Amino acid sequence: MRKYFAVLAICTVFSGISSAQETKNEQGKPAADQKVSPEVVNRKNPVVPSASSLAEAKKIFTVDCVMCHGQEGDGKGELAVSMKLTPPDYRNEAAMNKFTDGELFDIITNGKGGMPPEGKRATPEQIWDLVNYVRSFAQKKSSPPAK
């Protein structure tokens, strides 16, 4: 039941967003237009990517993010496919290395493009957990196969 309401809430958020429209951050500016300050870029993640951090983030990701970003972080969630959205593939290590943890924190917090902001729905620690979780997709893909 909770998953149904989460999807309904996200669909409601996205229903008003066309490709020409974008979500707005907490300051009311279009999220894609926000300038990222050097402070944001250089901000360090205070949360160690532990098993508990990743487990907490997986819960949030499953409810709030999977419908667009996909269960495996490939950007092919059901909602993204049906709405012809193209979220990034978090498994692509080269693409993920273009972002600092501070930038990922900012994107998750304020949204970007058609992605709504997590904003006040999560604590800063939960958002840092999500940064760790998003990073883990590329690490899983680049890990050598177990023998």
Q: How far apart are CA 11 and CA 61, in angstroms?
A: 16
Q: How far apart are CA 70 and CA 145, in angstroms?
A: 22
Half-sphere exposure of 35 (CA within 13 A, CB side): 2
pLDDT value of position 99? 95
Residue 139 has pLDDT above 90, yes or no: no
Q: How far apart are CA 40 and CA 78, in angstroms?
A: 31
Least confident of 22-26, 53-57, 78-82, 138-142: 22-26
What pLDDT band is residue 90 in, cutting at 50, 70 and 90? very high
What does the mean pLDDT of the chain come to? 81
> Per-domain residue ranges for the chain?
37-142
Q: Which fold has domain 37-142?
A: Cytochrome Bc1 Complex; Chain D, domain 2 (1.10.760)
pLDDT value of position 64? 95
Q: HEC profile for 113-147?
A: CCECCCHHHCCHHHHHHHHHHHHHHHHHHHCCCCC
Q: Which residue has the higher pLDDT, 6 or 94?
A: 94
- Sign of the CA dihedral 112, 114, 119, 122? negative
The string of pLDDT tens digits covering residues 65-75 is: 999 999 999 99
